[in-house]
Amino acid sequence: MTPGGGVESGTVFYGDHMAPSGTKPQVERKLRRVSEQLKALRDDLRVTEEHLAQLSDEEEDARIRALVSETPLAEKEHRKAARHAERLRSSRMKAIRKIADLEREQDDLLDRLTAST
């Protein structure tokens, strides 16, 4: 509190006392947010991987059909399936990188939380 009785900017209340910004309550909020994001991303990744497994099978079938039939249409279907599978693989890798980033952020927040206790 300031001498005039006001609250200083950047100060939050924690229990019965004030603490500077970036302390336990803020870290806990950030930790909850990161945890929720991780859960959602992991769920999305699981669905993406299931879809990719199915799509990879379809891509392989299209590749074999293109080899056996040697028709332009079969080759076109194979290329289309391969592009779709590649986009999904790319999306999967982005999700994996984002999860790794969030896990690092979560570790940092947990370190900050334990350091403040």
Q: From CA 85, how far away is CA 80, in angstroms rounded? A: 9
Domain boundaries defined on the chain: 22-115
The DSSP annotation for 31-45 comes to: HHHHHHHHHHHHHHH
C-beta separation of 18 from 11 below 8 A: yes
Q: From CA 15, how far away is CA 6, in angstroms rounded? A: 18
- pLDDT, mean of residues 19-46: 88
pTM above 0.75, yes or no: no
> 20 pairs with which residues across the strands?
11
Q: From CA 18, how far away is CA 16, in angstroms rounded? A: 7
pLDDT digits (tens, 9 = 90+) for 15-31: 433 344 468 899 999 99
Provide the 8-state DSSP code for 70.
Answer: -
**Is 61 in a helix, a strand, or coil?**
helix
Question: Looking at the predicted structure, is the pLDDT value of residue 110 above 50?
Answer: yes
Q: Quick one: tokens of 37?
A: 């994001």
Q: Quick one: tokens of 46?
A: 């699981």
- pLDDT, mean of residues 40-52: 96
Q: What is the pLDDT of residue 29?
A: 95
Read off the amino acid at residue 44: D
C-beta separation of 95 from 48 below 8 A: yes
